[in-house]
Amino acid sequence: MDDTRIFDEKMSRRGLIKGAAGVAGIAALTAGGLGFLSKADAAKASPAALPWPYKKCTAEEIKQAGNIAHDNWFKGFCSYAVLSGGVEILRKKIGEPYASFPMELTTFAHGGTSGWGGTCGTLIGAGVLSTLCAGPKVGEAINNEVINFYATTSLPIFVPDHPKAQIRTQSVSNSPLCHLSVGKWMQKEGVGFLSPQQMDRCGRLAADMCMKTLELLNLWADGKFEAKTKAPVFANEIPSQNNCTDCHGSNVPKTSGPFGTGLDLLKAGH
Amino acid sequence: MDDTRIFDEKMSRRGLIKGAAGVAGIAALTAGGLGFLSKADAAKASPAALPWPYKKCTAEEIKQAGNIAHDNWFKGFCSYAVLSGGVEILRKKIGEPYASFPMELTTFAHGGTSGWGGTCGTLIGAGVLSTLCAGPKVGEAINNEVINFYATTSLPIFVPDHPKAQIRTQSVSNSPLCHLSVGKWMQKEGVGFLSPQQMDRCGRLAADMCMKTLELLNLWADGKFEAKTKAPVFANEIPSQNNCTDCHGSNVPKTSGPFGTGLDLLKAGH
């Protein structure tokens, strides 16, 4: 029996899972299901409570969101691009509380968080977007799928109505990290950082993440969203990517111990 | 002349910098200074415009924020901990728009973004907090300093009023990444992920990032905040950490080219 199944069984025995859709469902359950839902039920009128109202986007609106994201990359970079692409559409469709939402609040996340090359800012903007619309629990499950899409797909796919540069290259990051994603792409395209090509590539990739998030929100609104991707934290017993050898070479360290009693403690805390 | 100084000179000659405090100032300028400020001036009454009102926190309030962050780690993990630690204090001191703010919106960022081991979620919560209070431009400059503190300091420092576990270890991450930060600490402490020790360590570290953010916001409110840390994107011509050899060994790749014309394009876009 592999570790994941052991973990699944252990959690099931402890009664923590009621019909959760696999391990990604557990991740979402533990992150968002503790104390948030009852608060949301009690205060639905306040924008402080998530989720906010969501209405399914048409294919045309999703494409519009992609073009807004691409254009807005050049106003506030990647995280702002994804978040504003979604929020601008929802402001038109729904109004408040999106109209009063300060959508520049994750602008700092560009360049892998203030330029430090960590998590790609598009994934932070995407996570805020899915969380606003679907709440912390489902929002994280959707974000997990968006990250898997980001890490395993040859990108960018979206061709904007108003490209600012022509590009030749698509590449697979195998990672959610800005440094690896943009680094591999720049190496393949043969350009430097802040070149017109790199900027348009990142704008297009922002569009891809914005559109994927809205597509998954649409599925969720139809009751058809399914958490399919195993969160790497459960596969590897530590928050991680799945490309261990990229950094560790053949010498991948063992984790310091098995999962502890954390989820029990978290449950007991409420 | 090193690359940073060349970059500084080039940017200065192009008239992009007016009294910016070093390279971190440039990063903030480019990220937040393009189109946001005029919008904020024009719509100060709407919560959609940043920054929101800020009032300096007392030493006692900062300690309270640390304890709230530590406690709230056990409700929503690391990013929620930092953001809610600050917002709960500001709700008491200021009220709206903090009272209506959905402070669960970055909960997904735990575990390095939905458990993928990227940027530590504390730094995402910290960036949203500094951005809400000081706007995207200053918020990013503050976040850059918080990240440098995170990466270079032996952590955790804060001792909570109500620890859930006793811990022996402090460690330096040399990185903003969850995977490296918690991995190095767990190895030193000899415990696994979701052990009581690891969870209390991450709760204390969340308190440290929350309190550091409020301290820097206080300095900024007094006109004394100074951007001291060079954002690695400018040092390395790619979004990155500064610990290249940690992953690359001795074979650190050269960047694909020098900085392009990006900042000019960004400027022209407005």
Q: Are B110 and B79 in contact (CB under 8 A)?
A: yes
Mind giving me the DSSP string for chain B?
Answer: --HHHHHHHHHHHTT--SS--HHHHHHHHHHHSSSHHHHHHHTTTSTTSSPPP--PPPHHHHHHHHHHHHHHHHHHHHHHHHHHHHHHHHHHHT-TTGGG--TTTTGGGTTTTTTSS-B-HHHHHHHHHHHHHHHHHHHHHHHHHHHHHHHHS-B-----SS-SS-----B--SSSBHHHHHHHHHHHHT--TT-HHHHHHHHHHHHHHHHHHHHHHHHHHTT-----SPPHHHHHSSS--S-HHHHHTT-PPPPSSS--SHHHHHHHT-
Which pLDDT belongs to residue A262? 60
Give the chain B residue whose CA is nearest to the CA of A46: B100
pLDDT of A160-177, one tens digit each? 999 999 999 999 999 999
Query: Which residues in B lie closer than 8 A to residue A119 (C-beta atoms)?
Result: 109, 112-113, 116, 118-119, 124
* pLDDT tens sequence for chain B (270 residues): 333 343 343 333 333 333 333 334 344 434 433 334 444 444 456 999 999 999 999 999 999 999 999 999 999 999 999 999 999 999 999 999 999 999 999 999 999 999 999 999 999 999 999 999 999 999 999 999 999 999 999 999 999 999 999 999 999 999 999 999 999 999 999 999 999 999 999 999 999 999 999 999 999 999 999 999 988 887 788 899 888 888 888 888 877 777 766 655 433 332
pLDDT of A92-137, one tens digit each? 999 999 999 999 999 999 999 999 999 999 999 999 999 999 999 9
d(CA A6, CA A11): 9
Mean pLDDT on A227-237: 84
Query: Which residues in B lie closer than 8 A to residue A74 (C-beta atoms)?
Result: 265-266, 269
Q: Are B3 and B236 in contact (CB under 8 A)?
A: no
State how far residue B66 is from chain A, nearest Cα, in angstroms: 18
Query: Which residues in B lie closer than 8 A to residue A97 (C-beta atoms)?
Result: 100
Query: Which residues in B lie closer than 8 A to residue A177 (C-beta atoms)?
Result: 118, 177
d(CA B78, CA B46): 29
Q: Are A57 and A218 in contact (CB under 8 A)?
A: yes
- For residue B177, give both structure tokens: 């990444």
Mean pLDDT on A251-268: 63
Which pLDDT belongs to residue A22? 37
Whether the predicted pLDDT of A4 surpasses 80: no
d(CA B4, CA A259): 44
Of B127, B147, B198, the CB nearest to A260: B198
State how far residue B204 is from chain A, nearest Cα, in angstroms: 16
Which pLDDT belongs to residue A261? 62
Give the chain A residue whose CA is nearest to the CA of B88: A48
- The percent of residues in chain A predicted with pLDDT above 70, rounded, is 79
More confident residue, A249 or A269: A249
How many residues in total does chain B contain?
Answer: 270
- The percent of residues in chain A predicted with pLDDT above 90, rounded, is 69
Low-confidence winner among A19-23, A249-253, B236-240 (lowest mean pLDDT)? A19-23
d(CA B270, CA B268): 5
pLDDT of A220-230, one tens digit each? 999 999 999 98
d(CA B213, CA B87): 12
Q: Where are the domains of chain A?
A: 3-10+21-40+50-238
A76 CB contacts (<8 Å, ≥6 apart)? A84, A104, A107, A110, B31, B32, B34, B35, B36, B136
Of A132, A191, A260, the CB nearest to B256: A191
State how far residue B211 is from chain A, nearest Cα, in angstroms: 19
Average confidence score pLDDT of chain A: 84
State how far residue A227 is from chain B, nearest Cα, in angstroms: 13
The sign of the torsion formed by the CA atoms of B258, B261, B262, B267 equals positive
- For residue B254, give both structure tokens: 């050269």
B94 CB contacts (<8 Å, ≥6 apart)? B52, B53, B54, B55
Mean pLDDT on A71-95: 97
Q: What is the ipTM of this complex?
A: 0.84
Name residue B171's beta-bridge partners: B155
The sign of the torsion formed by the CA atoms of A123, B119, A194, A149 equals negative
pLDDT of B208-253, one tens digit each? 999 999 999 999 999 999 999 988 887 788 899 888 888 888 888 8
Q: Which of A10-14, A145-149, B15-19, B25-29 has the highest mean pLDDT?
A: A145-149
On the question of a cis peptide bond just before residue B253, with omega within 30 degrees of 0, the verdict is no
